[in-house]
Structure 1
Amino acid sequence: MGHKLLLLTKANEQYRQLIEAQKLTDLVLLSDDPANIATADIWLAEPKLAAPLLPHAKKLQWLQSSFAGIDALLSPRGRKDYRLTNIKGIFGPLMSEYLFGYLLAHIRGHHFYRQQQRQKNWQAQPPMRHSTLQGMRLLLLGTGSIAQQVAQTAKHFGMQVTGINRSGQAVAGFDQIEVIPRLEQAINDADVVVNLLPSTPETRNILNAPRLSMLKEDAILMNVGRGDALDLDALNAQLIAHPLQQAVLDVFHQEPLPASHPIWDRPNVVITPHISAPSHPEQIVDIFSDNYHRFIKGEPLLSQIDFARGY
């Protein structure tokens, strides 16, 4: 008996060509006809496109998200009678490029020297507490596959790396692991704080005003995990009060970030439109194909989400 696949992405035609080239056994690739929502038993979908259609998915057995983030599919009253998998294992290098691109630009004074060039001025940047990543203390909220890649890159630059997770269990590549109840002290010890946590009830608003107040006077905060982990209004006030602190923000509770939000006007903030680790269809289809072979053999799927935990 064959399986029927529905595509729900902004790049359906590209995905269609890539999947057809895989020649997957007993898989029928359905058209974009809305009637196929009710007949497909497998979806390859962007979570926000899939979420409102789930009530009509009468035959759905497995949904492969094309993104790492699956928040839109985890509402408390949402369906949980199907297998949900997300994308893991490909975003670590991309996230590292993003994070260390901005870190190095800041530490090595790129903005200062661009201004000097415009003024035709030959002058070194005034001394800062840190002029190199070597010896700086990096705190990663999360110790999953992306965090492990970031930690590996950080060690290459000579940074000291602490991770935060629920269990406190050691993870390869980290100098130290702490638990969430010790987050305030870990923030206070860090020169750079990076949020990589998924969105769960425990992580929402985890970076609130009291915890943000623990940041060092010249700390750098980077949010590339989930927007709802950070109290953006509290951060705005924090950065006004502490102009030497820096923030790099790629994810927000409301996207696009409203033009009216005052965080746009902070000179010590970099804002990017959720582009730190973009999905590439070729990689997504390879992961989908691997999981499809597992699915038809009745084997455990890679990166299956636990609805109770939210990741």
Structure 2
Amino acid sequence: MPRILFAATEDDWHDYRHCLPKALQDKGLHAELIPYHEGLDPALVEYIVYAPAGPLQDFSPYTKARAVLSLWAGVEKIVGNTTLTQPLCRMVDEGLEKGMVEWVLGHVMHHHLGLGFFGAHQDGVWRNDRAAPLASDRKVTVLGLGALGQACARMLAQVGFDVTGWSRSARALDGLTCLHGEAGLTQALSSAEVLVTILPQTPETTNLLDAARLALLPEGAVILNPGRGTVLVDDALLAALDAGQIGHAVLDVFRQEPLPEAHPFWAHPRVTVTPHIAAATRPETASKMVAENIARAEAGQPLLHQVNRTRGY
């Protein structure tokens, strides 16, 4: 019977204490789920279900732990922890993926159809001289082709958008133009009428979209960032918005969260702020992924979504 340590917040325990045991049972696992508490013998622990906001920071006593299974999609708050030597898996689950796809698709469609333009003129004037192009005539670039980026890019392509995807290393995806590397990034940005950033936080992606790269975008481009706040340089984005180089930015993630009340993003007329809700982890579907990985480990199979420590994701 594997012993599983639940090392997250008390609120997380409240959300997972019923659905996680059920998910384990559905996978045929007879496991003991132990909430984190002082005095726990680390030698008893074989798996750790973890959230960076939880109480566990030192993994070195857990010498028998076979894997650390994060409840978060991002691992930048844990991947540099030198006490963590166990295999680490990030959260990629059905609910999180669907939430991200729906957020991206909704905001892309909003700007593609010009709903903000029409909705801003409730003055009795009949303006029927402006119609949106078809989706096939709108170029959308998705930066980041991990599981979430691929799902978003495929959905946008399915709707009919002309989609280009960019990643650090080469990828090939049916129905998508895939670019990579520095030259590929320049090309991907230069055509992006709508730019969606779903990149992880790594040294290579931090400040990736600076003033020089924002200037590569077509004038009036729309930026959607549900990935990581550190990808965008805030001051450069504000300057590009003020100059009209960027037409609008929809931001779900920020360098400091919650976004400070005095931050200029809140009041800028060309910025839409959403409070880090694009891809929420849902306990029911996340529990299934945790149970799946534990079942795989118990069967001697490779873990899903294991983090590459060198790349940082």
> What TM-score, normalized to structure 2?
0.88
Is the aligned partner of 1:41 residue 2:23?
Answer: no
**Per-residue deviation, residues 229-280 of structure 1 (Å, max 9, x unmatched):** 1111211111111176111111112111122222222111111111001111
**Contact 1:64–1:288 under 8 Å retained in 2:** yes
Do the aligned partners of residues 57 and 234 (structure 1) sit closer, same or farther apart at CA in structure 2, a change above 3 Å counting?
farther
Is the aligned partner of 1:124 residue 2:127?
Answer: yes
2-structure distance, mates of 1:208, 1:51: 35
2-structure distance, mates of 1:305, 1:37: 27
**Per-residue deviation, residues 25-78 of structure 1 (Å, max 9, x unmatched):** 352111342333845332212223266354665654321111211111022x53
Question: Tell me, which stretches of 5 or more residues in structure 2 are unaligned?
Answer: none
Q: Secondary structure at the match of 1:35?
A: coil
Match of 1:73 among 74, 78, 84: 78
Residue 89 of structure 1: how far off its partner (Å): 4.7
Q: Which residue of 2 aligns with 1:19?
A: 20
> What TM-score, normalized to structure 1?
0.89
Q: Which residue of 2 aligns with 1:86?
A: 90
Residue 304 of structure 1: how far off its partner (Å): 0.8
Q: Which amino acid aligns with 1:35?
A: G
Q: Secondary structure at the match of 1:139?
A: strand
2-structure distance, mates of 1:180, 1:168: 12
Q: Secondary structure at the match of 1:161?
A: strand
Do the aligned partners of residues 262 and 55 (structure 1) sit closer, same or farther apart at CA in structure 2, a change above 3 Å counting?
farther
Is the aligned partner of 1:8 residue 2:11?
Answer: no
Is the aligned partner of 1:29 residue 2:33?
Answer: yes
2-structure distance, mates of 1:112, 1:189: 22
Q: Which residue of 2 aligns with 1:165?
A: 167
Is the aligned partner of 1:255 residue 2:260?
Answer: no
**Contact 2:229–2:255 under 8 Å retained in 1:** yes
Q: Which residue of 2 aligns with 1:107?
A: 112
Is the aligned partner of 1:235 residue 2:237?
Answer: yes
Q: Which amino acid aligns with 2:49?
A: L
Q: Which residue of 2 aligns with 1:277?
A: 279
The percent identity for this pair of structures is: 31
Residue 170 of structure 1: how far off its partner (Å): 2.0
Q: Secondary structure at the match of 1:164?
A: strand
Residue 14 of structure 1: how far off its partner (Å): 2.7
1-structure distance, mates of 2:219, 2:169: 30
Q: Secondary structure at the match of 1:207?
A: coil
Further displaced range: 2-11 or 247-256 = 2-11
Question: Tell me, which stretches of 5 or more residues in structure 1 are unaligned?
Answer: none
Match of 1:205 among 204, 207, 222: 207
Q: Secondary structure at the match of 1:291?
A: helix
2-structure distance, mates of 1:134, 1:219: 16
**Contact 2:93–2:286 under 8 Å retained in 1:** no
2-structure distance, mates of 1:206, 1:215: 13
1-structure distance, mates of 2:41, 2:140: 45
1-structure distance, mates of 2:265, 2:87: 38
Further displaced range: 188-197 or 41-50 = 41-50
